Structure 1
Amino acid sequence: MEFIRLNNITYGFAKDFKHNQKIRASFNSLTEAVFDFSLENWYHDGLWGDYYIPYSLLHNDKIVSNVSISKIEFDIEGERKSGIQIGTVMTDEKYRNRGLNKYLMEKIMHEWKDSTDFVYLFANDSVLDFYPKFGFKVVEEYQHSKIVDKHSASSVWKKLNMEDPADVTFLMERIKNSNPIAKISMRSNVSLIMFYCNWFKKNSIYYIEELDAIAIADFENDTVYLDDIFSNNPVTIDNVVLSMSDKRIQRVILGFTPLNDEGFEKQLLKGTDTLFVLKDTFEFFANKHWMFPVLSHA
């Protein structure tokens, strides 16, 4: 382990420590305290791959601050791009306001900003002044929605069971081989999507037999929130929504930007985390009326 000194205190520095049980346990303790989740099951399921790398500072053998990077490939309007997403930014309450996250951010920026197509992150309202210090600029995101004017409520669909190994394997294979349906489409990252499917979206995964497609969706009153569709064959969003909607569903709101946005309304996305992109690639994303897929947030 490397040691560094900040404000007259010596900290240990560790990164990419997923196979170190002691450090990983400390990392999970901090994620549980700050974000109310743990990556332990994700690790044991073999899903914590090389693309997710935490950078952490330790004091008294305990992780007290962390900034992680996720290496993610996207197809953006048909062109393959590599991105570095910064996330899991956290500091133990007792160690805040000491410049620990600043040190880790500077280390990451030095290491990665010139070796990828773009660097980006999502931030909540409490830290909007922090990231511009490192050259990040706010990019507005737009969400697509439309009125559901037909109803079918196909009876040939079922909820997948994330406790059933066969269903899990089926889902992972379908994610791996799916056709893009979004203008910004995350590729080759089954692990991140499975993090959501094993945790926050565990009860929101549906297989539509007649379309041979899997949809990640939540139903709330008269609205279906459609986060993603995984199909080996071309499938339309309208057909997926039609198959899942009964008469109570009046509207669909997408968690991605559709490849074909004909018939969709788009509105400035508000009330969620703010997208920041490193200023060197800001113009590529500005004024595009896109949104990053919700299941690609790390």
Structure 2
Amino acid sequence: MDSVAVTEIGQFDAGLQELFCDYVPQVFRRADFRRWRAWGEWNDAYRAFALLEAGRVVANASVMRMRLLLEGREVTAYQLGAVGCLPSHRGRGLARVVMNAALDGCGEAPVLLFANPKVRQFYPRFGFQPQMQTLFSASYEAVPEGPPAPTLSLEEVAVRAGLTMLSSEGLPSTERFGARGYGAVASWPVANGFARPLRQLGTDAWTFAGVEGETLYLDDVFAREPFDLRAWIPRLIDRPIRSIRFGFTPERYWPCAVEAGEDMEADLFVRNLRLSPEAHRFPIMAHT
């Protein structure tokens, strides 16, 4: 089966991208790449390794090149996503073929992926090891005060460019286990309607944030320079809150945050990658 030809789909392969976009919702019911692609976010960092039969993609494993941060040190790495096979073609080893092709494309670089808990047994066959991710929270009481922080729309080209710039050139939300330059990754859940609103904190600081119950969820922070996040909390909420949950390791913005259990929503697997023994959470807006 490994002799089957795998097709690499890149930034400028418009026709093949259409076939890829047809494939995705057949395997991942709530996912779609069309809007993200229409925004021009499929760049040279994203490659899909696909098996084609009868003019359609039947199996795929994609890789996103990442500027990974490990204890403040930047390394080139890859994150896998959209790994799967059409239900009608399962049981033929096709997922193994595209996985091997994708990993060959990564070489000896570190690789990570976030997987559905239902497939925990699949990825260790390719040299991946599971890694725990920690939830972080803080008790913090606040009430709305001042004008609400403006909401930004990634439908606007200038906003997408701003997110790309802040992600690439600004401060990462965490350096313990984080990334830089992942604006095109962060825009994907927005394009699919999965993300919390993007709010503007001053001129060059943005956050994906939203309130649920009495908790403010801060999923990620993109900023050019250090700033006082606490001062903006009253302008991010529309009702009183008693706690904050962070979608990243908040050592920069909230060093007194506490560990609040294990993140059970997605399983992290790593290959050729040694992580800090300290508790950490890879920013959820950097998940592919």
Q: TM-score scaled by structure 1? A: 0.86
Distance change (3 Å), C-alpha of 1:82 and 1:21: closer
Q: Does 1:120 align with 2:117?
A: no
Report 1:6-155 matches (<5 A). Answer: 6=1, 12-35=5-28, 36-114=30-108, 116=109, 118-155=110-147
The answer on 1:185 being equivalent to 2:178 is yes
- Secondary structure, counterpart of 2:264 in structure 1: coil
Look up the match of 2:227: 235
- 8 Å CA contact 1:67, 1:105 repeated in 2: yes
Shift of 1:128: 0.5
Cα distance in 1 for residues equivalent to 2:195 and 2:247: 16
Q: State whether residues 139 and 286 of structure 1, in contact with CA within 8 Å, keep that contact through their aligned partners in structure 2.
A: no
Report the residue type matching 1:182 in the other structure: T
Counterparts of 2:228 and 2:196, CA distance in 1: 23
- Using a 3 Å threshold, how does the CA distance of structure 1 residues 172 and 74 change in structure 2: closer, same or farther? same
CA-to-partner distance for each residue in 1:203-259, whole Å, 9 max, x for gaps? 6111133x7521111211111111111222212443343442465211110010023
Distance 1:61 1:268, change over 3 A: same
Please give the secondary structure, in 1, of the residue aligned with 2:129. Answer: strand
Please, which runs of 5 or more residues in structure 2 have no aligned partner? Answer: none
Q: Which secondary structure does the structure 2 equivalent of 1:157 belong to? A: coil
Percent identity over paired residues: 23
3-state secondary structure, aligned to 1:146 = strand
In the alignment, is residue 244 of structure 1 matched against residue 254 of structure 2?
Answer: no
- Which residue number in structure 2 is paired with residue 3 of structure 1? none
Deviations 1:143-175 (A, max 9, x none): 111011344533152111333444444444433
State the shift of 1:285 in Å: 1.5
Give the RMSD, CA atoms, in angstroms: 2.4
Residues 140 and 268 in structure 1, CA contact (< 8 A), matched pair in contact too: no
Does the 8 A contact of 2:71 with 2:276 survive in 1? Answer: no
Question: Residues 204 and 287 of structure 1: is their aligned pair in 2 closer, same or farther, counting only changes over 3 Å?
Answer: same
What does residue 279 of structure 2 align with?
289
- Inter-partner Cα distance in structure 2 for 1:17 and 1:178: 27
Q: Tell me the TM-score normalized by structure 2.
A: 0.88
Pair 164,104 (structure 1): closer, same or farther in 2 beyond 3 Å: closer
How far, CA to CA, are the matches of 1:164 and 1:43 in structure 2?
A: 14
Task: For 1:267, give the aligned amino acid.
Answer: A
Counterpart contact for 1:214–1:230, Cα < 8 Å = yes
Given that 2:164 and 2:181 are in contact with CA atoms closer than 8 Å, whether structure 1 keeps it comes out as no
Give, in whole Å, the separation in 2 of the partners of 1:286 and 1:79: 12
Residues 260-285 of structure 1: CA deviation (Å, up to 9, x unaligned): 4532111332431111112x43xx22
Gaps of 5+ in 1: 1-5
